[in-house]
Structure 1
């Protein structure tokens, strides 16, 4: 998936793959003998940065696996090697060697089975970059206008969501969302629509008071600070063209409130974006699909990876334009 996308976009995006160079070379040859990979050692990267490669080559930073790979089968012996690829990517982004990071799906259980407590890419990137709070946003250009949905909470049990929505955390979420829509997407004055937590946005307090006691006051404070935010709106009616046409992003209160709408519209071609990090990070909107990997090459759709790479490149360009004109 990553090899296919990098090769397809090689004329537009200078991609660097991070992984076991020998395994990637074998995979690339099986996909298309025309694909040319050039291996680069981690030491060379640290000493000299990223060299120039011709348009018909894809650079690979060699991060060797600890055990032989059998497609579709999990092996805890490779769990720590997966994390090493992330560490290389993070280090390169922090040093300015990479303009951004695009992550492929990984199997969390393999890393945990290797003895490392791991909850996901997003949390790991935040920890390694010393970022106190990040915001998860999924996006697609398969709708008109493009749909972006950010989350006030992410992977929480439903019973824990209400307690996690506090004045301070929600206010920080909106501030991060506003700042990155400006700085990484080049939007001059982002327009953000916010859902309520409860059915009918609380029905004036009869179906819950979070909208009155927390969400409403946060939105008022955000408006007073110059952020173009409005709501809280009932989530079951907000995702209509007549409302979304005037919005740059929707902020939903929890995972299964906002993401089913986006994934219905774009599954396999949407992207996951982590906001609040000191570097750009996008990812695919799906998991590892072990059944497709076991079935052999050519079964996985690389559409989401193409979208993730294209949006990362757009964010890089928008960020540079913003800095030039700031």
Structure 2
């Protein structure tokens, strides 16, 4: 059982990216930005070095998860990693992979043990991890693996991008566009819709979630004139969700789903591939959108941007999305707790 007063666990992400400095900036923003207490899983020497590089004058306190909230008002709580990180802003290095993965592992373990209320992750880069032997497509899939390993139950992760005006869910995630029609199935869409509806209800507090299901092809296939997948795969999924009592409509032409009047008619849009979901989400709220992983036995959020190696260490990275991720994680964790107690 997670403690109601537990802080959030923040993993540092790729240390060569902007993760260290946006974590510093989020702590500096503090109460004025509504930042809830968190601790950073990182190499303290890296955080001290990055603070100097970006000109941030802050106090850093090496601590444990249990003491982090006590220190948070006066210092950035850092729970040290066993692995050490090389401070090489803008220059990703496979030698840092062990620490990057350790931070994620320990954030999840802390959350499941009740030491943290939720997991928030700074961005990772896949290539340095792959070069070091990491074999998961991305954060989302790895978190599902960790959850399954800890709980012994099968976990199906669902990625949701949440902004002030729009929530989108990519049914397929980190695969090439050419592979999408091969991977997309009615069963996958139905499973994604179920998890999305359940988490919108239990964690977002939406009593009867409304799902808008995008078509795969232009104009949702125009009755088969532009591909058969919308009739043979997407439509049966919509009908199956409706049969389960889920408020779902579709397949809808994606090019008319995201204007203001259309957005008013649903709580989340299920999209058939990565960019169909992320382009509208990031266009509407690039600095405010949050990546949420649904379907996990704990709350996980992250900024909606990547490692930004090109600006790492320059002191110009914005922490807006991380701050939004921290705030949303706190709200979802509290809602999750209240839902479980009901």
What is the TM-score with the length of structure 1 in the denominator?
A: 0.89
Structure 2 unaligned blocks of 5 or more: 1-21, 149-153
| Residue aligned with 2:340, SS | helix
Q: Does 1:265 align with 2:284?
A: yes
| Residue aligned with 1:193, SS | strand
Aligned to 2:118: 100
Aligned to 2:310: 291
* Aligned pair partner of 1:110 in 128, 131, 134: 128
Q: Is contact 1:111-1:118 (8 Å) kept?
A: no
Q: Is contact 2:46-2:86 (8 Å) kept?
A: no
Aligned to 1:66: 84
Deviation at 1:261, TM superposition (A): 1.5
* Aligned pair partner of 2:102 in 64, 78, 84: 84
Aligned length, in residue pairs: 312
Q: Does 1:7 align with 2:28?
A: yes
Aligned to 1:253: 272
* Aligned pair partner of 1:305 in 322, 329, 341: 322
CA distance in 2 between partners of 1:184 and 1:193 (Å): 19
Aligned to 2:339: 322
CA distance in 1 between partners of 2:55 and 2:337 (Å): 35
Paired residues for 1:106-255 under 5 Å: 106-130=124-148, 131-141=154-164, 146-255=165-274
What are the Cα deviations for residues 41-96 of structure 1, in whole angstroms up to 9, with x where unaligned? 5xxx5xxx456414223321101443531222222211111111111101011112
Q: Does 1:37 align with 2:56?
A: no
Deviation at 1:162, TM superposition (A): 1.4
Taking structure 1 as reference, are residues 132 and 321 closer, same or farther at Cα in structure 2, changes over 3 Å only? closer
Q: Please say which of residues 49-58 and 227-236 is displaced more in the overlay.
A: 49-58
What are the Cα deviations for residues 137-170 of structure 1, in whole angstroms up to 9, with x where unaligned? 11211xxxx2001011111212211121212211
Structure 1 unaligned blocks of 5 or more: none
What is the TM-score with the length of structure 2 in the denominator?
A: 0.85
Q: Which has the higher contact order (CA 8 A, sep 6+)?
A: 2
Q: Is contact 2:299-2:332 (8 Å) kept?
A: yes
CA distance in 2 between partners of 1:209 and 1:107 (Å): 36
Q: Is contact 1:19-1:64 (8 Å) kept?
A: no
CA distance in 2 between partners of 1:36 and 1:186 (Å): 37
What are the Cα deviations for residues 167-196 of structure 1, in whole angstroms up to 9, with x where unaligned? 221111111101111111111111111111
